Amino acid sequence: MLATQQYITRGYALASVIPMEIIANQDAPLNIEMAATKMLMDKLLLSRETRVAAAAFNPANFSAAAGLVTTLTAQTKWDNGPNSNPVRDIKNIMEKSLMMPTDMAMSFDTWNIFTENPNVQKYVFAKSGVRPLPEKDRYDEWGALLELPRPNVIAVKSKNTAGAYPYVWASNVSLFRRPPGDAVSMYDASTFKTFRWNGAGANQLPTEFGGRVEGGFTVRSFYNPFKGKRGVRVIVVAHDDFEAVTGGLANVSLIGGLILGANQ
């Protein structure tokens, strides 16, 4: 599905300032500049993970009228809900999605609850006819046995304002379509798409800017003689992204779906 809706990428950047004394005094096995670059990249990627999870878990991004949003009650939650049926919850959305979802995303604790649910285990035993169950990290095997979208199990955590470290993809389950390639024809579509400024198609910024563009991320490193006793090395990592809903019209997807409150 193609649309004419315009979008604007938003810039994100972090910087690290390293005094030249520290660089000069580092032991040979160390590379403080590389460590600083990795720290900045990790923080930007975690921030992006949070944004993507927020989009995937936003019920406004899926058509409730088409039956693509399911809110579980205390009776139907996957952890100890007496009437829980996780496989049927997922297949209900698969049946109503305009195109078949290829993947589903959930947190590590939600995945554990899913695989330990008695009704899920009954499905597996009925399909395979043998025990034991597949190993929990055999995600593709679970998906194939149950004829479900490929599970993407995400263990990423992030510190919140209360000082706790909850899962970024906690409690809910998002179903989405991720076809191979760019999916820019009218015959296939993805549920979501990240549009990223790639340096105007070049992997090297103009000399006056410095730095390189790799996969849409720009890394710059320059010396600032006006800060500190002997100057500092400044490292900047930046990228420009826009996470778009592409599986429908007016930012409401008809492909994939959302299960809210799979576990407590």
pLDDT tens-digit map of 39-96:
999 999 999 999 999 999 999 999 999 999 999 999 999 998 789 999 999 999 999 9
Residue 153: beta bridge partners?
106
The Cα 170–Cα 68 span in angstroms is 19
Q: What pLDDT is recorded for position 36?
A: 95
Work out the average pLDDT over 193-211: 65
Q: What pLDDT is recorded for position 56?
A: 96
Average pLDDT in the chain: 87
Q: What values do phi and psi take at 91, rounded to 5?
A: -70, -30
Q: Which amino acid is at 78?
A: W
Residue 173: beta bridge partners?
259
Handedness of CA 181, 186, 188, 192 (dihedral sign): positive
Greater confidence, 69 or 31? 69
Q: How confident is the model at residue 121 (pLDDT cuts 50, 70, 90)?
A: confident
118-128 vs 86-96: helix crossing angle, rounded to 10 = 80
The Cα 158–Cα 37 span in angstroms is 20
Write down how long the chain is. Answer: 264
Handedness of CA 101, 107, 112, 113 (dihedral sign): negative
The region of weakest confidence among 9-18, 27-36, 195-204, 248-257 is 195-204
Chain-centroid distance of CA 50 in Å reads 7
Give the list of residues 6+ apart from residue 80 with CB closer than 8 angstroms, or none: none
Domain annotation for the chain: domains and CATH numbers: 10-260 (3.90.1690.10)
Which span out of 155-159, 199-203, 248-252 was modeled with the highest average pLDDT? 155-159
Give the list of residues 6+ apart from residue 232 with CB closer than 8 angstroms, or none: 17, 18, 19, 20, 223, 224
Q: Which of 257, 259, 263 is nearest to 95 (CA)?
A: 257
Q: What pLDDT is recorded for position 82?
A: 84
Q: What token pair was written down for 191?
A: 């549920």
Inform me whether the pLDDT recorded for 2 exceeds 60: no
Q: What values do phi and psi take at 218, rounded to 5?
A: -105, 130
pLDDT tens-digit map of 148-198:
999 999 999 999 999 999 999 999 999 999 887 665 566 678 898 888 877
Q: What pLDDT is recorded for position 5?
A: 65
Inform me whether the pLDDT recorded for 201 exceeds 60: no
Q: Which amino acid is at 105?
A: A
Q: Which amino acid is at 122?
A: K
Q: How confident is the model at residue 205 (pLDDT cuts 50, 70, 90)?
A: low
Inform me whether the pLDDT recorded for 1 exceeds 50: no
Inform me whether the pLDDT recorded for 204 exceeds 70: no
Q: What pLDDT is recorded for position 3?
A: 54
